[in-house]
C-alpha cells in the first residue's frame, strides 16, 4: 500500500497536507490507547477545504497514515522545531492534551521508527522534492503551501485562542517577502490573521523553502473552529463554505504571483 496520494497538477504550486489522514495501521492500534485510536489531533478535512484546488491545476500531496504513526512535518533526526517549547516528536508518544498514545511498555523503539521513516516519511518527501524540482525546471520557480489545521485552543502549545489564519515563513526565510506580502494584503475579515506568530512553519516549510533557489514555501495553520465542530470533530457545511472563499482567494493569489510580480 502506498503511503501517500499524489495528484499531479499543471501550475507552479504544490499543496502538501501532511497531517490530513487519520488512519492507523491495525497492528499498531492494538498497542495504542483507546483515545489514540481516534487520531483526534488530525488536521481534519483539510483535503475537503482545498477541493477547489484540483480544478485550478494545483499539485497536491497528502498521506495515507495518521500523524500518530509518523509526523511528516518533523525532522527525521529528531531535532526540535521549537526549542524550549512543549512539542510532539517524529513518532509521537503523547497527544496534544498530553495524554499517552501508547499502552504501558508499547512505545516504538529505534528500529521501528527507522522503518516508519523508510516506508512513509521518505517516500512523501521524495515526492515533494521531485515535484518542486519539476515545477522549478518548468516555470523557473516553485511555490509550496503546507496546509494544516488545528484546534483553536491547545494549552500545551499556546495560551488563549489561536487566530484563524496562521501563516508561517520561518520568520521570512522560506519565501520571498513580496509573496507573503501579497498574501497578507488579502481581506480575511471577519476572521483573524497573523504571520509568524506561534507557528512559523514546520520542517517542510523550513527545509524546502529556499527563495534564493526560486523555491518559496509557506505554511498555513487554519483554526478548526472556522469550518467544523471541534467537540464532535464533525464537518460544518455552512462554516466550510464561508471559509473556502478566502482560502480560494489565497490559492489564486499564490498562482498569480510570479517571482515577486503579482497580478
Reported as a single tens digit per residue, the pLDDT across 191-231 is 999 999 989 999 999 999 999 999 999 999 999 999 999 99
Q: Where does the pLDDT of residue 20 fall: very low under 50, low under 70, confident under 90, or very high at 90 and above?
A: very high
> Do residues 131 and 204 lie in contact, with contact meaning Cβ atoms separated by under 8 Å?
no
Cα distances (Å, whole numbers) of residue 240 to 2, 203, 226, 237, 244: 29, 27, 7, 5, 6
Q: What is the mean pLDDT of the chain?
A: 93
Give residue 84's pLDDT band: very low, low, confident or very high (50, 70, 90).
Answer: low
pLDDT digits (tens, 9 = 90+) for 200-210: 999 999 999 99
The residues near 251 (Cβ < 8 Å, ≥ 6 apart) are: 13, 15, 50, 52, 53, 56, 58, 145
Taking the C-alpha atoms of residue 243 and residue 225, their distance in angstroms, rounded to an integer, is 10
Domain 4-256 class in CATH:
alpha beta
Sorted by sequence, the CB contacts under 8 Å of residue 234 that are 6+ apart come out as 228
Residue range 127-157, pLDDT digits in tens: 999 999 999 999 999 999 999 999 998 877 7
Of the chain, the percentage scoring pLDDT greater than 90 comes to 87
Rounded distance between C-alpha atoms, residue 181 and residue 49, angstroms? 23
Domain positions in the chain? 4-256
pLDDT surpasses 90 at 179 = yes
Query: Residue range 92-116: average pLDDT?
Result: 95
What span, in angstroms and rounded, lies between the C-alpha atoms of 7 and 57? 9
Task: Give the pLDDT of residue 80.
Answer: 66
Q: Would you state the pLDDT for residue 157?
A: 78
User: Which pLDDT band holds residue 263 (cuts at 50, 70, 90)?
Assistant: very low
Residue 87, CA distances (Å) to 33, 63, 92, 93, 251 in order: 20, 21, 9, 11, 29
**Whether pTM exceeds 0.75:** yes
Q: What pLDDT band is residue 252 in, cutting at 50, 70 and 90?
A: very high
* Residue 246 neighbours by CB under 8 Å, 6+ apart: 165, 186, 187, 188, 191
Residue 178: is its pLDDT beyond 60?
Answer: yes
Q: Say how far apart CA 70 and CA 93 lie, in whole Å.
A: 10
Strand order in the sheet with 142-150: 4-7, 59-63, 13-16, 142-150, 215-223, 165-168, 193-195
Backbone angles phi, psi at 66, to 5 degrees: -65, 155
Residue 260 pLDDT > 50: no
Pairing of strands 165-168, 215-223: antiparallel
Burial classification of residue 255, based on how many CB atoms lie within 10 Å of its CB (0-12 exposed, 13-18 middle, 19 or more buried): middle
Query: Could you give the CA distance from residue 98 to residue 219 in angstroms, rounded to a whole number?
Result: 24
Amino acid at each position: 500500500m502506498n503511503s501517500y496520494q499524489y495528484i499531479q497538477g499543471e501550475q507552479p504550486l504544490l499543496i502538501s497536507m501532511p497531517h490530513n489522514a487519520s488512519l492507523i495501521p491495525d497492528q499498531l492500534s492494538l498497542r495504542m490507547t483507546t483515545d489514540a485510536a481516534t487520531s483526534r489531533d488530525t488536521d481534519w478535512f483539510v483535503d475537503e477545504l482545498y477541493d477547489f484546488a484540483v480544478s485550478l491545476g494545483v499539485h497536491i500531496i497528502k498521506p495515507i497514515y495518521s500523524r500518530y504513526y509518523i509526523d511528516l512535518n518533523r525532522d527525521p533526526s529528531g531535532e526540535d522545531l521549537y526549542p524550549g517549547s512543549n512539542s510532539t516528536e517524529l513518532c509521537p508518544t503523547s497527544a496534544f492534551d498530553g495524554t499517552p498514545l501508547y499502552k504501558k511498555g508499547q512505545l516504538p523503539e529505534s528500529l521501528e521508527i527507522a522503518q516508519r521513516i523508510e516506508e512513509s516519511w521518505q517516500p512523501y518527501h521524495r515526492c515533494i522534492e521531485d515535484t518542486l524540482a519539476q515545477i522549478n525546471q518548468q516555470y523557473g520557480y516553485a511555490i509550496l503551501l503546507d496546509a494544516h489545521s488545528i484546534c483553536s485552543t491547545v494549552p500545551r502549545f499556546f495560551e488563549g485562542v489561536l487566530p484563524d489564519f496562521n501563516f508561517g515563513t520561518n520568520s521570512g526565510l522560506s519565501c520571498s517577502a513580496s509573496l507573503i506580502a501579497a498574501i497578507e494584503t488579502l481581506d480575511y475579515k471577519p476572521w483573524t490573521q497573523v504571520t509568524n506568530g506561534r507557528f512559523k512553519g514546520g520542517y517542510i516549510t523550513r527545509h524546502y523553502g529556499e527563495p534564493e533557489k526560486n523555491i518559496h514555501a509557506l505554511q498555513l495553520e487554519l483554526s478548526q473552529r472556522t469550518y467544523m465542530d471541534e467537540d464532535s470533530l464533525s464537518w460544518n457545511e455552512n462554516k466550510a463554505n464561508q471559509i473556502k472563499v478566502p482560502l480560494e482567494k489565497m490559492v489564486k493569489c499564490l498562482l498569480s504571483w510570479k517571482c515577486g510580480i503579482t497580478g
